[in-house]
Amino acid sequence: AQSVTQLDSQVPVFEEAPVELRCNYSSSVSVYLFWYVQYPNQGLQLLLKYLSGSTLVKGINGFEAEFNKSQTSFHLRKPSVHISDTAEYFCAVTMMDSSYKLIFGSGTRLLVRP
């Protein structure tokens, strides 16, 4: 069965510092991978996705993620964060077949301090 693990429930960081949010997944078949962001009192917004090809994918708001098949990871990074990046971030995975469902991790709250 598929599963997604986000190891950190909360990541505090100072403004303009780099950040990495970790995501590991488990699946017996090939997968699509996604990162979503949720700002306070809002729904989820797609940040970026990995489908195939280059393992480094770039998304909105300066975020990027790297797919590592051998380590079954899809960590999210940003070289310099802003206060406005404070939000909850969700990693998600779906199998490359007819599955109807995305499987979500439990989320990581990024808290950017001035």
Partner 1 sequence: DVKVTQSSRYLVKRTGEKVFLECVQDMDHENMFWYRQDPGLGLRLIYFSYDVKMKEKGDIPEGYSVSREKKERFSLILESASTNQTSMYLCASSLHGGGGSGGYTFGSGTRLTVV
Query: Applying CB under 8 A, which residues contact partner 1?
Result: 9, 32, 34, 36, 41-46, 49, 51, 90, 92, 94-95, 97-102, 104-107
Neighbours of 31 (CB within 10 A): 25
41, 24 Cβ separation under 8 angstroms: no
Chain centroid to CA 63: how far?
A: 9
CB of 22 to partner 1, least distance (A): 15
Nearer to partner 1, 83 or 96 (CB): 96
> CB neighbours of 99 closer than 8 A, spacing ≥ 6?
none
CB of 17 to partner 1, least distance (A): 26
Nearer to partner 1, 30 or 80 (CB): 30
CB of 11 to partner 1, least distance (A): 15
Region for residue 106 given its phi and psi (left: phi exceeds 0; alpha: psi -120 to 50; beta: otherwise): alpha
Nearer to partner 1, 81 or 103 (CB): 103
Per the structure block, which two tokens stand in for 51? 């489908």
> CB neighbours of 98 closer than 8 A, spacing ≥ 6?
none
CB of 6 to partner 1, least distance (A): 8
Nearer to partner 1, 9 or 84 (CB): 9
